[in-house]
Amino acid sequence: MCGIAGIAMARDAPPPDPVRLEALAASLRHRGPDGSGMTIAGEVGLAHTRLAIIDVEGADQPFFAGEAALIANGEIYNYRALRAAMPEVAFATGGDCEPPLHIWLRERDGYAARLRGMYAIAIHDRASGSLTLSRDPFGIKPLYVADIAGGVAFASEPGALLATGLVARRVEPAARDELLQMQFTSGARTALAGIRRVLPGETVRIENGSVVQSRRLSALPEGGPETIGESDALARLDAALMDSVALHQQSDVPYGMFLSGGIDSAAVLACMARLNTRPVLAFTAGFDVPGVADEREAAAAVARAAGAEHETILVTREDFWRALPAIVATMDDPAADYAIVPTWFLARRAREQVKVVLSGEGGDEMLAGYGRYRTATRRLFPRRMRARGALQGLGVLRQEPSSWRAGFAAAEARAAMPGRSALQRAQAADIADWLPHDLLTKLDRCLMAHGVEGRTPFLDPVVAAASFRLPDGLKLRDGRGKYLLRAWLARALPEARPFAPKQGFTVPVGEWIGAEGERLGRLVAAQAGVAEIAHPEQVRGVFARAGRGRAGMAAWLLLFYALWHRAHVEGHVPAGDVFDCLTDTGPG
């Protein structure tokens, strides 16, 4: 895993400034602490920082072949098969990201269809001066672009474009409204004005300093539910999961996994235990609040049954207040998912022993685990997903936004392909927007802040082919989601108790915020980012009620936004705990 960045200027503009490229690389050093590389040819400059995972000693980037240069952030899991299919090529390294360069030389913009993996790739054709940017179909790895004076800049993180002064620090109001209602932003637009995402599966070509072409690969197979029996479906799912996990384990450095009390990570562990001769190293987080669901005991039982080496960490209230400014500062593309808190602490602990972790993200979307799928697909009185915003109707905002759901509604419309069931449409909408722009952004930023690579075996084309077109009855049954995965896990690792009532996962942010509600409400209400959009007295009231009902989530979102605005719009460098950060009025 790595960081990539670059600048593509128009032919009549000055060439890329090497000092600016070096600054881009420096701002991405946390993503790639093991090395860096840079190249400038004509109007295009590329910068790379490396986290060495495959061919640790030899696969430094950029890669060069013919008139082309490539930099990449990601893992190409089928790289051995790609190499074998090109026996005439004299590869310069054993790296997994070199084969895409040679495929591009043959197939040009359609090259990404041959790749199985997670990636953000930039390829410069030095003969024509064009630059090609590609992102994997699930959007596991991030990539952002921005128009700048005389050309286009790109980077793995928006923060790099801000830190180097290529883009001004300004809020995009419509995206901010989405964030405060849904906890993430949809589509290509980000909450930072002037910075947009390369979409999942998108390949764009840049010529003469501007985007001239775009094409996309779908993450999901076409067609509605197929006809298949449970026995055959179980066998197919088993083969797909084992194949995917085996490829996701490819590494020349130590690896482990994140283990929750849920069935997705338990399924990943079951596969890893079958594939590894040594105990799998698993990490679990828990909290010190009585009455809050704590996954450590359930995870420990599953780990023992699988013969795993199990590490647990306790996240306390003091940890929360002390680390939250730094955690939010990593979320430059803001996803206000409170799971950023345990994920960040897990990554910090895991980095002491491994450089790669596998996790269960994508299982709920791919195999229909969320309760909202059941309500969205019921025959009588179906309910829209995300029908009510987190701050909607609370009287907090100076102006109640009316179109905050428009972006996700567009994703729902695109998901409504002919032949798909209502369940498939709901899944596809989440896979297009919620998954990459919330869950995967959270995973990427929290892990890469500590130089750890996160891998997601459920988000794989082979797993998608085995699961997305399953009959609805093999996904939803007896009031539960993920039926087929539960049935598979009941055989593979019954100690996970896959058919037991779901305990649920939560982070006790409402309890922690509520305990400091009066003090924190005054501080948050006074922040520039919050004061311009919210009534101070209503903000204080929400924090006073944060320990109960909707107020807890509302307070969390306002606190997150206040800290995010301080870091990424005001340019404040986090120092001290939450209270120090919100009290300090200086630039940082």
> Going from the N-terminus, what domains does the chain have, and what CATH number goes with each?
2-216 (3.60.20.10), 230-391+408-496 (3.40.50.620), 509-583 (no CATH)
Residue 69's beta-bridge partner residues? 64, 124
Q: Are 442 and 344 in contact (CB under 8 A)?
A: no
CA-CA distance, 230 to 267, in Å (whole number)? Answer: 18
Q: In Å, what is the CA distance from 509 to each residue of 318, 336, 349, 434?
A: 12, 12, 21, 21
CA-CA distance, 267 to 457, in Å (whole number)? Answer: 10
Q: Are 573 and 545 in contact (CB under 8 A)?
A: no
Burial of 168 (0-12, 13-18, 19+ CB in 10 A): exposed
Q: Is 446 a catalytic residue?
A: no
Quote the pLDDT of residue 585: 63
Compute, in degrees rounded to 10, the torsion defined by CA atoms 442, 443, 446, 452. Answer: -160
Compute, in degrees rounded to 10, the torsion defined by CA atoms 22, 25, 29, 33. Answer: -90
Q: What stretches of 377-496 adopt beta strand conformation (E)?
A: 453-455
CA-CA distance, 466 to 162, in Å (whole number)? Answer: 41
Q: Pick from 117, 129, 120, 193: which is nearest to 154 by CA?
A: 120
Degrees, nearest 5: CA angle 572-442-569: 25
The continuous run of DSSP H or E covering 21 comes out as helix 18-27
Compute, in degrees rounded to 10, the torsion defined by CA atoms 165, 171, 176, 177. Answer: -160
CA-CA distance, 193 to 177, in Å (whole number)? Answer: 13
What is the C-alpha end-to-end distance of the chain, expressed in Å?
Answer: 30
Question: What single string gives the DSSP state of each residue in 122-165?
Answer: EEEETTT--EEEEE-TT--S--EEEEETTEEEEESSHHHHHHTT
SS3 state of residue 247: helix
Query: Rounded to two decimals, what is the model's pTM?
Result: 0.96
Q: Are 129 and 11 in contact (CB under 8 A)?
A: yes
Quote the pLDDT of residue 503: 65
Q: Are 329 and 567 in contact (CB under 8 A)?
A: yes
Q: Are 10 and 150 in contact (CB under 8 A)?
A: yes
Q: Pick from 119, 147, 157: which is nearest to 135 by CA?
A: 119
Question: What single string gives the DSSP state of each residue in 196-225?
Answer: EEPPTTEEEEEETTEEEEEEE--SS-SSS-
Q: Are 588 and 573 in contact (CB under 8 A)?
A: yes
Identity of residue 419: G
Q: In Å, what is the CA distance from 261 to each residue of 278, 296, 304, 308, 498?
A: 22, 7, 13, 14, 10
Angle at which helices 263-275 and 230-248 cross, to 10°: 70
Within a 13 Å sphere around the CA of 574, how many CA atoms are in the beta-carbon half? 20
CA-CA distance, 480 to 286, in Å (whole number)? Answer: 25
Residue 135's beta-bridge partner residues? 120
The residue annotated as part of the active site, out of 2, 97, 446, 581, is 2
CB atoms within 10 A of CB 212: 10
Spatial strand order of the sheet with 255-258 comes to 309-315, 281-287, 255-258, 356-358, 453-455
DSSP letter, residue 468: T
Q: Is the peptide bond before 158 cis (omega within 30 degrees of 0)?
A: no
Angle at which helices 550-568 and 173-182 cross, to 10°: 140
The continuous run of DSSP H or E covering 441 comes out as helix 440-448
Q: In Å, what is the CA distance from 275 to each residue of 245, 271, 279?
A: 9, 6, 10
The per-residue pLDDT string of the chain (588 residues; one tens digit each, 9 = 90 and over) reads: 699 999 999 999 999 999 999 999 999 999 999 999 999 999 999 999 999 999 899 999 999 999 999 999 999 999 999 999 999 999 999 999 999 999 999 999 899 999 999 999 999 999 999 999 999 999 999 999 999 999 999 999 999 999 999 999 999 999 999 999 999 999 999 999 999 999 999 999 999 999 999 999 999 999 999 999 999 999 999 999 999 999 999 999 999 999 998 999 999 999 999 999 999 999 999 998 876 777 899 999 999 999 999 999 999 999 999 999 999 999 999 999 999 999 999 999 999 999 999 999 999 999 999 999 998 888 776 788 898 999 999 999 999 998 999 999 999 999 999 999 999 999 999 999 999 999 999 999 999 999 999 999 999 999 999 999 999 999 999 989 999 999 999 999 999 999 988 666 678 999 999 999 999 999 999 999 999 999 999 999 999 999 888 999 999 999 999 999 999 999 999 999 999 999 976 554
H helices present in 131-253, as ranges: 158-163, 173-182, 230-248
Distance of CA 22 to the CA centre of its chain: 26
Quote the pLDDT of residue 586: 57
Quote the pLDDT of residue 588: 47
CA-CA distance, 308 to 311, in Å (whole number)? Answer: 10
